[in-house]
Amino acid sequence: MFRVFVFNNYPFEDVWEEVKRKEKPDHHLYGINYFSTRGYEVHIVPFINSVLLQRVNTQIKNFHLPIPVGDLDQQWSFLKQLTKADIIYAPCQTQTHLLHYLRSICLLNVPIVCLAHHPLQKGRLAWLRKPFVQQFVKGADAFPSLSKGVAEEINTIAQQHDKSWKITWGPDANYYPCSANVGQGVVAAGRTGRDFDTFGLAASQTNSDAIIVCLQNSVSLKFCEFGRNVQILVQPNNDYMKYPELLKICTEARVLAIPMHSTSSLAGLTSLVDALGLGKPVIMTKHPLIDLDIEREGIGIWVKAGDVNGWQEAIQFFEDNPAEAVKMGQRARKLVAGDLNSKAFADQIMDIFDRLLERA
């Protein structure tokens, strides 16, 4: 078997155990649970190994070092096992920069497959980071992305047309409860970049029930202006609601909402994937980096960022058209039954491994 060493920005061992206990869908493993089916042996690089290097990581983040170096602890753990590796897989683009630099100057002979989620060149110091980002991209043997727009940015940086391409990430087809009922109201849940202010004000102007599931740091003064039809479930201590509990709430909803402040990253994609798995229609802030066109697919409605009236009209549409909501949800679930699921995603990743390792 070929040995795949896996890096990630959260502990994969813990997530894998959660998946085994049915506490989380398997698409959060980005394919690794399927690798053995095609002869790939998974070695998860320890998320935490050296206390000293963890402290260095923290200091680098605190000082906002303009040179991206990745996770020093994980990369050092890997280098100590270098001779055992056949290929490196980084489902998160933030952990493996030093290994990319080594690969780009031929000091590392293990192929690297890195998955891009967000644009690489952004922020005030992008100009200073540019040469390092170029080396980072050069050091990836394959740099697929969850977004066509991000893939195009990577190819521009690399000055080649095939360094990156879009691959589809879909939900665990077997995890979500099946429900044929029409549901009631609208649920907006999430942690990153959510515009709950706009959503709550809009929902308050409808006769639809609404639920917001958020962390304490998402609560603003605008929440005081929400109507009585808007229920707020604030999760204490930044400990977000567990999947089974969250899915129970979402299963009982008629439509799921994904209101976003910013569309400069792929934040919101996970919630969209959950909606597909649940077979629920969606209302979402128009997002240039998300390639699944929910209106063209007939599974939801796009709304402009910050558009209270647009959100109000979309929420009221689903309140007034329960039969259409069911049809949209059925179309969403049909996509999952096709090739928009976690197994199909894993196959795409393993196809890349096969090519790089020249497997027949």
- Residue 360: what pLDDT? 43
Give pLDDT tens digits for 21-78: 999 999 999 999 999 999 999 999 999 999 999 999 999 888 877 789 999 999 999 9
Q: What is the mean pLDDT of the chain?
A: 95
Confidence of residue 359 (pLDDT cuts 50, 70, 90): low
Give pLDDT tens digits for 289-305: 999 999 999 999 999 99
pTM above 0.75, yes or no: yes
Is the separation of the CB atoms in 22 and 175 below 8 Å? Answer: yes
Confidence of residue 264 (pLDDT cuts 50, 70, 90): confident
- Percent of the chain whose predicted confidence (pLDDT) is above 70: 99
- Percent of the chain whose predicted confidence (pLDDT) is above 90: 88
Distance of CA 277 to the CA centre of its chain: 14
- Residue 287: what pLDDT? 92
- Residue 32: what pLDDT? 98
Give pLDDT tens digits for 316-340: 999 999 999 999 999 999 999 999 9
How far is the C-alpha of 245 from the C-alpha of 147, rounded, in Å? 29
Strands (E), 181-241: 186-189, 210-215, 230-235
Give pLDDT tens digits for 182-206: 899 999 999 999 999 999 999 999 9
Is the separation of the CB atoms in 93 and 116 below 8 Å? Answer: yes
- Residue 239: what pLDDT? 82
Between 65 and 355, name the one with better pLDDT. 355
How far is the C-alpha of 162 from the C-alpha of 145, rounded, in Å? 12
CATH topology of domain 2-170+341-356: Rossmann fold (3.40.50)
**How many other C-beta atoms can be found within 10 angstroms of the C-beta atom of residue 249?**
17
- Region 5-30: what's the mean pLDDT? 96
- Region 135-144: what's the mean pLDDT? 98
- Region 111-133: what's the mean pLDDT? 89
Distances 319 to 120, 131, 196, 291, 331 between C-alpha atoms, Å: 40, 51, 19, 27, 19
Residues of the chain with CATH 3.40.50.2000: 2-170+341-356, 186-337
Distances 2 to 21, 42, 180, 354, 359 between C-alpha atoms, Å: 27, 9, 43, 10, 10
- Region 252-270: what's the mean pLDDT? 93
Give pLDDT tens digits for 123-136: 777 778 899 999 99
Joined together, the tokens standing for residue 70 give: 């990745």
Domain 186-337 has CATH 3.50.50.60: no
Confidence of residue 238 (pLDDT cuts 50, 70, 90): confident
Distance of CA 83 to the CA centre of its chain: 31
Is the separation of the CB atoms in 120 and 139 below 8 Å? Answer: no
